[in-house]
Structure 1
Amino acid sequence: MYAHTKHEIVACERCRSPFECKANSFTKCQCMTVQLNINETQYISEQYDGCLCAACLTELRDEYRAEINE
């Protein structure tokens, strides 16, 4: 199903899309492409416990920013 990879393939907790989780090399993980401040990180962690894909992290960051600017 997936090409051989040295990292685990996980499903995003929010959208269920599969992606390669690099928790053991988190600086190289796709989630590190989304810059979050401490408040955005807390907002997301209050809703989800597992890994999220970069697309969902971006959407949730934007959702949080829209809420605080209302």
Structure 2
Amino acid sequence: MTKHEIIPCERCGKRIECKANSFTRCQCNTVRLNLNEVQYISELFEGCLCADCLVDLKNEFNTLNNLH
């Protein structure tokens, strides 16, 4: 059985179980992002983010783009 690392979310600090080697089972995989959203988030953060932060950042990106 593969051990997964418990790490802090880079944005909020919440402890999350990183399953980078089993991405399809990772909590972050529950958030669907398009290419533009992924690019926006990757420009702000390099590490793992919790699903809640991914949703917040997705909404932030879409709000910013709806203003233009």
One fold, TM greater than 0.5? Answer: yes
- C-alpha distance in structure 2 between counterparts of 1:45 and 1:21, whole Å: 17
Task: Pick from 50, 55, 58 the counterpart of residue 53 of structure 1.
Answer: 50
Report how far residue 45 of structure 1 moved. 0.1
Higher-helix-fraction structure: 2
Deviation at 1:6, TM superposition (A): 1.9
Which AA in structure 1 matches 2:42? S
Task: Give the TM-score normalised by structure 1.
Answer: 0.91
**Unmatched 5+ stretches in structure 2:** none
Alignment: residue pair count: 66
1:49 and 1:7 map into 2 onto residues whose CA distance is 19
Matched, 1:37 2:34: yes
Q: Which runs of 5+ in 1 are unaligned?
A: none
Partner of 1:27: 24
Given residue 11 of structure 2, which amino acid in structure 1 is its aligned partner?
R
Q: Deviation of residue 28 (structure 1)?
A: 0.5
Q: For the aligned residues, what is the CA RMSD? A: 1.0
Q: Which runs of 4+ in 1 moved over 3 A?
A: none
How high is the TM-score relative to the length of structure 2? 0.94
Q: What percentage of residue pairs aligned between the two structures are identical?
A: 62
